[in-house]
Amino acid sequence: MGVRGVLRATVGIAVLVLFAACGADAGPPGSLSASAASGKLVIGIRYDQPGLGMKTLNGQYEGFDVDVAKYVANELGVGAQDITWKEVEPANREKLLTSGQVDMMVAAYTISADREKLVDFAGPYFTLGQDLLVRSSDTAITGPQSLNGRRLCTVAGTTSAQAVKDQFAQQTKLVEYNRYSECLTALLAGIVDAITTGDVILAGYAAQNPELLRVVGKPFTKDAYGIGLRKGDPAGKAKVNAALQKMISSGAWQAAAQANLGASGYRLPPPPAITER
């Protein structure tokens, strides 16, 4: 073979290796890696949780979950301008993931054994406890055991209120809405007596209405938020876990948590340990 032939063969091999490498990095169709390789991601967040996930009046998105999502997406090669934000509700989180309508779920999504039957979780990226939000004038509610005969707001697709009824106060009356922001309106109007969910969410609501609402301040569970992913994509989950670990070790996690959650007076937990699930 002549010199030109050798050069052509060498270039051809190099191109094949390059395409193979790109294809391997892109991942199989439908995977998180494939979506990221396209340069765009659809990420599910909440629009009504102050400090975590909010859509502002001028159409911007802000909160700790939003900052975590942006950091992870950037580590996957997708800039904030190429993220499509999709509002999710507790009742449709698994459906949006399994149907491929979102690539990741960063939406105050508590890791649980039942949910892990349907979706995968990367992380955790935040630890918290379940608590109660009540009217400041109602001093009789001091914990979940105080809710017998009271009306407790629950949201479709969550289990926190039912857990209170089953474990602490069997005579609790559950009132269901689609969003926690609707529970908040009902609480302020006296339609319900308490809301239960993660204490970090409740702290954000209380900070918006400091003279009217208070968090009881006695968490009665130990929970963790994870990033929801479609099942069957271990490579994608590994990349998200690596991004979360980098966010924590670089100090970006602490900065984002303080910037978004510190103003509410919420006592920030230490960064969690990323675990293989």
Q: Are residues 66 and 98 in the same domain?
A: yes
pLDDT tens, position by position, 99-149? 999 999 999 999 999 999 999 999 999 999 999 999 999 999 999 999 999
Instruction: Say if 11 falls within a structural domain.
Output: no
Q: Are residues 107 and 149 in the same domain?
A: no
**Domain membership of residue 236 as a residue range:** 31-128+224-264
Instruction: Say if 25 falls within a structural domain.
Output: no
C-alpha 135/C-alpha 14 separation (Å) is 68
Quote the radius of gyration of the chain (alpha carbons, Å): 22
Percent of all residues in the chain with a pLDDT value above 90, rounded to a whole number: 81
Give the domain CATH number at 77.
Answer: 3.40.190.10
C-alpha 96/C-alpha 69 separation (Å) is 17
pLDDT tens, position by position, 222-261? 999 999 999 999 999 999 999 999 999 999 999 999 999 9
Q: Are residues 206 and 231 in the same domain?
A: no
Instruction: Say if 277 falls within a structural domain.
Output: no
Tell me which of 2-11, 20-29, 121-130 is least confident. 2-11
C-alpha 189/C-alpha 187 separation (Å) is 5
The four Cα atoms 226, 230, 233, 238 give a dihedral, to 10 degrees, of -10
Q: Are residues 122 and 140 in the same domain?
A: no
Sorting pLDDT into bands at 50, 70 and 90, what band is 154? confident
Q: Are residues 115 and 237 in the same domain?
A: yes
Q: Is pTM beyond 0.85 here?
A: yes
Sorting pLDDT into bands at 50, 70 and 90, what band is 268? very high
Instruction: Say if 23 falls within a structural domain.
Output: no
Instruction: Say if 15 falls within a structural domain.
Output: no
Instruction: Say if 55 falls within a structural domain.
Output: yes
CA distances from 167 to 83, 158, 193, 230 (A): 41, 16, 18, 32
Residue showing tokens 């399994």: 98
